[in-house]
Amino acid sequence: MHKLKSHAVTSQRIEPKDGVDDFPTPPWGIRAPIEHGLFGDKAALRTMTCLEPACGRGHMAETLKEYFGKVVASDLLDYGYDHAGRDFLTYPYQAQSFDWVITNPPCNRGKQFVLRALPIARVGVAIIARTQFLEGAERYGNLFEPHPPTVILSSSSAARWSRDAMTARYRRRRPTRGSSGANRLQLKATRRN
C-alpha cells in the first residue's frame, strides 16, 4: 500500500478532542497583516481598542499592544497572562465594546468564536486559523453566507505552529493574497462600514 505524502491530504490535528488546542501564533503571524495595512491605517489603530479572547500566554496580545491603543487579553485557561478563567463564549461583553476582536481561537471552536465576536466588534473581527476553517456546508450556511469575509489572506510560507512560539525561529516573508495550501497561515477579517 502506498502512503500518502501530501501535506494537504494528511494534515491532521494531533491534539486530543478534549485538548486545549494550545498552538500559539508567532508574533509575525499578526504583525505582517497589520504592517501591510489589512487593519487600516496603523496610526488610526493607536486610537482603537482590541480584544484578544484566546490569548494563552500572550504571544499575539503582546504584538497587538505594539499597534493598538488598548488591548484586553483573556483566556479560558490560566497561562499566567491577563484575564485567566474568562470564557469568551459566555462572558457578558457589551455589544460593540471593542473596535476589533482579533484572535487565534481553538480549532474546534472557531465558528463559535467568530459568531460571538461579531456583535462585540465595532470595526471588525479577524481570526487566524487553518485553511480547513473555510470548508464545510454547515459552516458556510451558518457563518460565511450571512457574514462573508472581506479578506482571506494566506501566507506565502507555512507557519510552523509551536507550543513555544516566542522562542521558535520563524522566517518573515511578505504575505500574498490568494496563495493556496493546507495548514498555511490564514487571516479572515470581517470589516464593518
pLDDT digits (tens, 9 = 90+) for 14-43: 555 666 666 678 888 889 889 989 899 999
pLDDT tops 80 at residue 153: no
0.75 cut: is pTM over it? no
Q: N- to C-terminal Cα distance for the chain?
A: 54
Q: Under a CB-based contact definition with an 8 Å cutoff, are residues 76 and 87 in contact?
A: yes
CA dist 81 and 59 (Å) reads: 10
**More confident position, 163 or 29:** 29
Which domains, ranges and CATH numbers included, belong to the chain? 21-191 (3.40.50.150)
